[in-house]
Amino acid sequence: MRSWRGTSASSCWARRWLSTMAPIRCVGAITGPGKGLRRALSALSFQISRGLWKKYGDKRVIDTPISEMGFAGIAVGAAMAGLRPVCEFMTFNFSMQAIDQVINSAAKTCYMSAGLIGVPIVFRGPNGAAAGVAAQHSQCFAAWYGHCPGLKVVSPWSSEDAKGLLKAAIRDDNPVVMLENELLYGVPFELSEQAQSKDFVIPIGKAKIEREGTHITLVSHSRLVGHCLEAASVLAKEGVECEVINMRTIRPMDIEAVEASIVKTNHLITVEGGWPQFGVGAEICARIMEGPAFNYLDAPAVRVTGTDVPMPYAKILEDSSTPQVKDIIFAVKKVLNI
Task: Spell out the alpha helix ranges (H) of the chain.
Answer: 6-20, 37-44, 52-56, 68-80, 99, 109-112, 142-146, 159-171, 193-196, 224-236, 255-265, 280-290, 315-321, 325-336
Any catalytic annotation for residue 267?
A: no
Give the mean pLDDT of 78-90.
95
Q: How confident is the model at residue 149 (pLDDT cuts 50, 70, 90)?
A: very high
pLDDT (tens digit, 9 = 90+) per residue, 16-55?
Answer: 555 555 566 677 655 555 554 444 444 445 667 777 777 8
Residue 167 predicted with pLDDT over 80? yes
Rounded distance, CA 218 to CA 201, Å? 25
Write down the domain spans for the chain. Answer: 2-196, 208-336
pLDDT at 235: 99
Nearest to 79 by CA among 164, 150, 163: 150
Give the mean pLDDT of 55-59.
79
User: pTM here?
Assistant: 0.89
> Which residue among the candidates 88, 137, 210, 227 is catalytic per the annotation?
137
Could you check whether 2-196 and 208-336 share the same CATH topology?
Answer: yes
pLDDT (tens digit, 9 = 90+) per residue, 236-287?
Answer: 999 999 999 999 999 999 999 999 999 999 999 999 999 999 999 999 999 9
pLDDT (tens digit, 9 = 90+) per residue, 269-281?
Answer: 999 999 999 999 9
Give the mean pLDDT of 176-197.
93
What is the β-pairing status of strands 242-246 and 216-220? parallel
Nearest to 125 by CA among 147, 160, 153: 153
Nearest to 258 by CA among 304, 294, 309: 294
Q: How confident is the model at residue 12 (pLDDT cuts 50, 70, 90)?
A: low
Any catalytic annotation for residue 230?
A: no
Report how far Cα 191 is from the mean position of its chain's Cα atoms.
Answer: 18
> How many residues are there in the chain?
338
Rounded distance, CA 99 to CA 180, Å? 18
pLDDT at 330: 99
10 Å Cβ neighbour count for 60? 15
pLDDT at 49: 73
Class of domain 2-196: alpha beta
> Which residue among the candidates 68, 88, 259, 283 is catalytic per the annotation?
68
Cβ neighbours of residue 144 closer than 8 Å, sequence gap 6 or more: none
Longest dimension (CA), the chain: 62
Q: Apex CA 247: angle with CA 137 and CA 181, to 5°?
A: 25
pLDDT at 26: 75
pLDDT at 259: 99
Q: How confident is the model at residue 315 (pLDDT cuts 50, 70, 90)?
A: very high
Q: Which residue has the higher pLDDT, 294 or 58?
A: 294
Give the mean pLDDT of 145-161.
98
Rounded distance, CA 17 to CA 51, Å? 14
Rounded distance, CA 37 to CA 322, Å? 33
- From the options 3.30.1390.20, 3.30.559.10, 1.10.10.60, 3.40.50.920, give the CATH code of 208-336: 3.40.50.920
Give the mean pLDDT of 94-111.
97
Distances (CA, A) of 328 to 13, 124, 224, 310, 335: 34, 28, 10, 21, 11
Residue 181 predicted with pLDDT over 80? yes
